[in-house]
Amino acid sequence: MVETSPTLPPLRIGTRRSNLAVVQAEGIRDSLEKIAPERSYEIEALRTLGDRDQLTALYDFGAKSLWTTELEEKLVSGELDVIVHCLKDMPTTLPDTCELAAIPPRDNPRDALIVKSGLPYTSLKDLPEGAVVGTSSVRRSAQLRRLYPYLRFANIRGNVETRLAKLDNPDSEYTCIIMSAAGLERVGLKYRINQYLRSKDGGILHAVGQGALGLEIRKGDTQTQELLDQLADSKSTLACLAERSLMRTLEGGCSVPIGVETEWIRSDDLKITAIVVSLDGSESVEDTVEARVQSVDEATALGKEMAARLIKAGAEAILKDININRPSKD
């Protein structure tokens, strides 16, 4: 007689209910099926507060956890085993019942310019005076205001497909929008990207963790941790942890204009560049630092060092001013 090992229950993968979130969760499920084909996997896509409320501007939500709280409750209660997040939507400090188990290989971290269909512009510098950039991200608008003071800005909310539809509507005010390149590429919309933006091209730095996924588990769930270890990418992990350490030290939420870029030079040296910009773009501090990074502690230390340099250059005054002038929730 053949002994059958006790079968594990299906691993329950939770995510938000946007097309992008589901595509991401399916990608993780497919990778897990290759690594551990004996196990079965289920995806549960949940509508979160951030998905339901499309009207409140992002900076009015205050806490960054609008995408994560409801999923974490299900994780802690055992209804889910892992949550697949966009890393940039994850608060830098998690509830102490949960932990960040793994960061898989990062996709393109850059922002992308998408121009309204039918308009001839192909880069930020082509945009005429008064052109309207659709974005609800103060990180994006503050950096653009600094470099292109003649542009105008309007909020835009909704998932990737909704934003593109709003852009292309001939009656909408938008000339262009800025979205994450990774988000567009994952849902098959790479062809809509007119320009990839970065410090050397267009001049704007991306968000902390942009282009990476974060896999969150119940604290102490070693079985799921060991499974997810096999999806982790050490270079992506260390770079993203350095970025998150910078953000945590500056105490910025998703709505604080901190732009960042990390780049591996030689095999173990990480270069980090970061900028903090006032909402109107009139003030900014920027710096670059480089260090050997071979461990989580060294990544964290590099992020802290970057934050210390920005604070020394005046970042605190800019951030304090932003918090005072932030529109209230009511």
Ligand X SMILES: NCc1[nH]cc(CCC(=O)O)c1CC(=O)O
What are the catalytic residues?
Answer: 88-89, 139-140, 157, 163, 254
Is 50 a binding residue for ligand X by CB under 6 A? The answer is no
How does 217-241 read in b/e, with b if 16+ C-beta sit within 10 Å?
Answer: bbeebeebbebbeebeeebbbbbbb
Is 179 a binding residue for ligand X by CB under 6 A? The answer is yes
Is 217 a binding residue for ligand X by CB under 6 A? The answer is no
- For the bound state, the minimum distance from the C-beta of residue 49 to ligand X, rounded and expressed in Å, comes to 14
CA-based Rg of the chain, rounded to a whole angstrom? Answer: 20
Alpha helix stretches (DSSP H) within the chain: 19-35, 49-52, 69-77, 138-147, 160-168, 181-186, 222-229, 234-250, 296-312, 315-325
Q: What is the dihedral of CA 201, 207, 208, 210, to 10 degrees?
A: -90
Is 211 a binding residue for ligand X by CB under 6 A? The answer is yes
Distances (CA, A) of 24 to 75, 93, 134, 307: 18, 22, 25, 31
- For the bound state, the minimum distance from the C-beta of residue 250 to ligand X, rounded and expressed in Å, comes to 19
For strands 41-46 and 11-16, give the pairing. parallel
Is 216 a binding residue for ligand X by CB under 6 A? The answer is no
Name the strand (E) or helix (H) holding 81: none
Which residue lies nearer to ligand X by CB, 236 or 284?
236
- For the bound state, the minimum distance from the C-beta of residue 38 to ligand X, rounded and expressed in Å, comes to 31
Contact 137, 279 (CB under 8 A): no
Sites for ligand X among residues 87-146 (CB under 6 A): 88-89
- For the bound state, the minimum distance from the C-beta of residue 89 to ligand X, rounded and expressed in Å, comes to 5
Residue range at the interface with ligand X (CB under 6 A); choices 4-12, 41-49, 81-89, 145-153: 81-89
Is 182 a binding residue for ligand X by CB under 6 A? The answer is yes
Residue range at the interface with ligand X (CB under 6 A); choices 7-15, 40-48, 150-158, 180-188: 180-188
Candidates 180, 236, 237, 245: give the one binding ligand X (CB under 6 A): 180
Residues forming beta bridges with residue 196, ordered by sequence position: 112
Is 86 a binding residue for ligand X by CB under 6 A? The answer is yes
Q: What values do phi and psi take at 11, rounded to 5?
A: -80, 125
Is 177 a binding residue for ligand X by CB under 6 A? The answer is no
Which residue lies nearer to ligand X by CB, 54 or 295?
54
Which residue lies nearer to ligand X by CB, 233 or 316?
233
- For the bound state, the minimum distance from the C-beta of residue 158 to ligand X, rounded and expressed in Å, comes to 10
Measured between its terminal Cα atoms, the distance across the chain in Å is: 69
How many residues are there in the chain?
Answer: 330
What single string gives the DSSP state of each residue in 24-70?
HHHHHHHHHHHH-TTS-EEEEEE--HHHH--SS-GGGS-SGGGGTHH
Q: Binding residues for ligand X, how many (CB under 6 A)? A: 9
Residue range at the interface with ligand X (CB under 6 A); choices 119-127, 175-183, 305-313, 319-327: 175-183
Binding site for ligand X (CB under 6 A): 86, 88-89, 179-180, 182-183, 210-211
